[in-house]
A and B are shown apart, each in its own frame.
Chain A
Amino acid sequence: MAENQKQNYLTHPKGIMSWLLTLDHKRIGLMYLFGGIAFFFLGGVLALGMRLELAAPGNDFVSNDTYNNMYTLHGAIMIFLFIIPAIPGALGNILLPLMLGAKDVAFPRLNLASFYIYTVGALFVMYTIISGGVDTGWTFYTPYSTTSTSNVIPMTMGIFVIGFSSILTGLNFIATIHKMRIPGLTWYKLPLFVWALYGTSLVQITATPVIAITMVLLILERLLGIGIFDPALGGDPVLYQHFFWFYSHPAVYIMILPAFGIISEIIPVHSRKKVWGYKFIAFSTLSIAFIGFLVWGHHMFTSGQSVFSQIVFSFITYFVGIPTGVKIFSWMLTMYKGQVSFTPPMLYALSFLFLFTIGGLTGIFLGAVALDIHLHDTYFVVAHFHYVMQGGTIIAFLGGLHHWWPKSMGTMYNQTVANICCLGVFLGFNGTFFPQFLLGLRGMPRRYATYDQQYAELHNYSSFWSGILGLSIFISIMNLLWSLRKNNKLDPGTNPWGGMTLEWTHTTSPPHPHNFEEEPVLEHGPYDYDKVIVEPTFKK
């Protein structure tokens, strides 16, 4: 036992500086994880504050201005500080080299730099909050954002800085995937999570520069009045929308592709079954990443863009739907003739299938131009993207966290509590967001601090369930952290789910500081449950 203890990355080397200056991808991943979870908590508290205000029609708890600040910060923090950096930065960092059999990512110093750039960006955002907030919405539409007296500049500066962290992580991952695979680990033997990270990274390095430029132009417009977005100076607010969505639509795929990767790992392992349609899942990831660049105009169906653009954007939008649909069927069919265990990660994966299918199908409603015009900027859209972002990405993130927690931390949480929390998240989520579809159909606009009496019942219902949702997520994270208490270590050889990829079969839990004691030799594919038996082992 004693010699195993000193051989894991969590305890070796010791000291605060060994963490702050670490080049170990696993430690950097953990720092991203805890940073991300802290912002997830902050964004969640803001969300609950909004639901509290919206529980009844009038200005019951906060003023309009406070509400506007809250929803802006909720969106910006969740997107730019949690969802976009957290999955690639945390789970991607911890797992990618392990899955490839590598010692680290291709550029470990750059990896640490990415983390500190993210920290600097986060400090800008914190400054924004402390110095009075920002009230423009996370979309920063001009001319409101060029004339608002709130702190637009520190916020957009923060997003500009965080963008570089995103670009450098993407660059690092692409180089790692191309160059750091062990011999024999060919493209078609890669775990699907690696394919997902590859697609994500491509979008990160190609789309992020556009938001960086847009944010800089917005700052210059405010400071110097260059006259590009502000109509009073001869600029065009619709141009801003094009710039913004040219990044922010692909950013949706930065957020959802890693989630697809996580689900593609969880379902085969916990069903002990070869994944259905490996090549299809791999290539649809890349095609979704590509098509995602061509559909930004569907965010602007009521902006007055030309009829021709409306038709083209509506048409291409449906091309994203088809491969996504086939993916969902593939995950479902993976369970066919398998041995399905209802573990916490699997329950999250099944919730994902349920919720993300609703998120995807409601996108079809919004892609139809005539119907979108009624639903645009109503709660229908709010519900749709929460079903995708939270029901999809965050549920997958929680599933992935429960799946790889014993691997990265070397402890096992209470599985019964985790299962109950998963059920709580599922019910709370549906209770919160399903009524919002109905609100949207009835015409309730988004970003309203107060509303008409006719919407009161559904809002009240939504607010009630948001409490259950928040509480369940909070307890599930606490359940994970509670497992870190003393004398709760797992046996280092443990492989609790019977995973077949290199991080499960060739290294300890938690892994060795250099990942593998010797270079791993690939013995089978990532999902060869039809050829090899890997017994799940779970010992203290």
Chain B
Amino acid sequence: MDRLTEYLFPKQVSTFAADIDNLFYFIFYSSIVLFAIVVLGMMYLAIKYRFKKGDEVRLTSSKDHSNILEALFFIVPLILVSITFVWGIKSYLQMIIVPDDAIEIKVTGQSWFWTFDYPDGGTTLNELVVPSNTPIKIVLSSKDVLHSFFIPVMRTKMDCLPNRYNVMWFDAQEEGVYDILCTEYCGTGHSQMGAKVIVMKPAQYEAYVAELGSDDENIPLDELGAKLYTKKACNTCHTLDGSALVGPSYLQTSQMWGQERVFDDGSSTVIDDNYIRSSILEPQTQIVAGYQGVMPTYQGLLNDRELDALIAFLKSLQEDSQI
């Protein structure tokens, strides 16, 4: 059973994961029995009563019902689905009743990244950090279209709507780094809208949240930029190898430093620090020709030092590629 679970499912990390997997096994084994009756019965009847070469076409039996069999076919599945229904609801209730002492984290979906706001201030992008063995209440919403927040190891997901809040919760039992996926179609970057949930020991979590942002003060700008490139989800749409994704590659922009860039309205601008800064903060004002203008603004998500860091990182790419 354990090896089967390992094969079939992602890890069981939340408190209710094992119960949900057990519900799966209950339906699974009941289904196998019913399926075997249908398929073996079908094969037996088809082969036993097959029309052989040389057989004569004759009148066949008028038997077309059996009260006992029909009652059985009705009652046995009815009992099985009744159990399934009640179990499904019982487990569901524990998935939606949030414990009172839960830590509340606000999750915002946006095309195509996730923002996490922690109770004592501090924000992360695409990295949800939570303490283990602590109930976490997730309050979900979206800034644009529908998204759905799915953590397979927790066995839970919930849609993010632009006009109301949805709630889900989990209590992670094991430290580790696990996948978060978007499961409501949201356009071009839907399949790249992944994030990670990092489950830490509670003490580590406290330290992490307290230090959010502050440890970035002491590292060089371009290294900080490299960190932010993944941390702030720039990598969802911009590559470093010159290939175009949803947006132009950083490498291409870097190699064009000091040259003219043409926009979709025909105007153009020289690529410099100011251009990069404005295209991060006001991405909709100048859209590079050949691309859709789908980038959200990073106003409020990056401070000045972080903007400087990204610019420094972008500039450094060109030097790297020349070496």
Residues of A within 8 A of B (CB): 64-65, 68, 135-137, 141, 143-144, 147-149, 231-232, 236-238, 271-278, 280, 302-304, 307, 310-311, 314-315, 318, 321-322, 325-326, 328-329, 332-342, 350, 353-354, 357-358, 361-362, 364-365, 367-374, 376-378, 438, 441-443, 445-452, 498, 529-533, 535-536
Contact = CB atoms under 8 A, between A and B. Distances in A.
A368 B85 contact: yes
A340 B34 contact: no
Nearest to A323: B74
A277 B146 contact: no
A333 B69 CA distance: 10
Nearest to A329: B73
A141 B77 contact: no
A522 to B, nearest CB: 19
In the complex, the 9 A-B pairs of residues with the closest C-beta atoms, listed nearest first:
A443-B152, A368-B88, A370-B91, A530-B62, A231-B163, A448-B191, A337-B61, A335-B45, A377-B183
A302 B161 contact: no
Given A371-B91, A452-B194, 10 more contacts: A64-B191, A277-B70, A329-B38, A332-B42, A337-B49, A357-B35, A367-B84, A370-B23, A445-B181, A447-B191
Contacts of A302: 148, 157-159, 183
20 contacts: A141-B185, A143-B146, A144-B186, A148-B187, A237-B162, A272-B60, A303-B161, A321-B81, A337-B49, A338-B61, A350-B46, A357-B38, A364-B81, A370-B19, A372-B88, A373-B157, A445-B150, A445-B191, A448-B190, A529-B60
Interface string B145-159: 110101010011111
A371 B190 contact: no
Nearest to A377: B183
A64 B38 CA distance: 42
A532 B183 CA distance: 57
A333 B45 contact: yes
B85 A315 contact: yes
A232 B143 CA distance: 10
Nearest to B75: A322
B216 interface: no
A18 to B, nearest CB: 40
Nearest to A437: B8
B63 interface: yes
A272 B56 CA distance: 12
B267 interface: no
Contacts of A321: 77, 81
Contacts of A447: 185, 190-191
B70 A371 contact: no
Contact of A325 (B62, B77, B87): B77
B188 A318 contact: no
B92 interface: yes
A335 B63 CA distance: 10
Nearest to A528: B62
A374 B146 contact: no
A144 B145 CA distance: 5
Contact of B45 (A325, A336, A342): A336
B8 A531 contact: no
Contacts of A231: 161-163
B78 A280 contact: no
A435 B171 CA distance: 30
Nearest to A369: B92
A532 B139 CA distance: 69
B45 A371 contact: no
Given A302-B158, A370-B95, A443-B10, A531 B184 contact: no
B70 to A, nearest CB: 7
Contacts of B23: 368, 370-371
Nearest to B52: A339
Residue from B31, B39, B144, B157 whose CB has the most chain A CB atoms within 10 Å: B157
B50 interface: yes
A358 B35 contact: yes
Given A144-B146, A338-B60, A535-B57, A64 B188 contact: yes
Contacts of A68: 185, 187-188, 190
Interface in B35-56: 35, 38-39, 41-42, 45-46, 49-51, 55
A531 B59 contact: yes
B155 A304 contact: no
B191 A280 contact: no
A310 B109 CA distance: 24
Contacts, number: 267
Given A144-B145, A276-B64, A318-B84, A340 B51 contact: yes
A135 B294 CA distance: 15
Interface string B165-208: 01000000000000101111111111110100000000000000
Contacts of B88: 314, 367-372
B57 A376 contact: no
Residue from A136, A303, A341, A445 whose CB has the most chain B CB atoms within 10 Å: A445
B3 interface: no
B96 interface: yes
Nearest to A353: B42
A452 B91 CA distance: 29
Contacts of A371: 20, 23-24, 27, 88, 91
Contact of A318 (B31, B85, B182): B85
A165 to B, nearest CB: 28
A527 to B, nearest CB: 8
Nearest to B89: A311
B9 interface: yes
Given A135-B187, A325-B73, A368-B84, A442 B60 contact: no
Contact of B146 (A141, A311, A357, A373): A141
A318 B89 CA distance: 13
Contacts of A340: 45-46, 49-51
A530 B60 contact: yes
Contacts of B161: 231, 237-238, 303-304
Contacts of A378: 183
B38 A353 contact: yes
Nearest to A317: B85
B163 A237 contact: yes
A314 B69 CA distance: 27
Residue from B28, B61, B90, B159 whose CB has the most chain A CB atoms within 10 Å: B159
Contacts of A148: 187
Contacts of B144: 143, 147
Given A304-B158, A364-B27, A378-B183, A335 B89 contact: no
Residue from B39, B183, B186, B189 whose CB has the most chain A CB atoms within 10 Å: B183
A278 B64 contact: yes
B27 A276 contact: no
Contacts of A341: 50-51
Contacts of B28: 365
B135 to A, nearest CB: 17
Contact of B57 (A144, A339, A364): A339
Contacts of B179: 443, 452
A315 B84 CA distance: 10
A373 B64 CA distance: 41
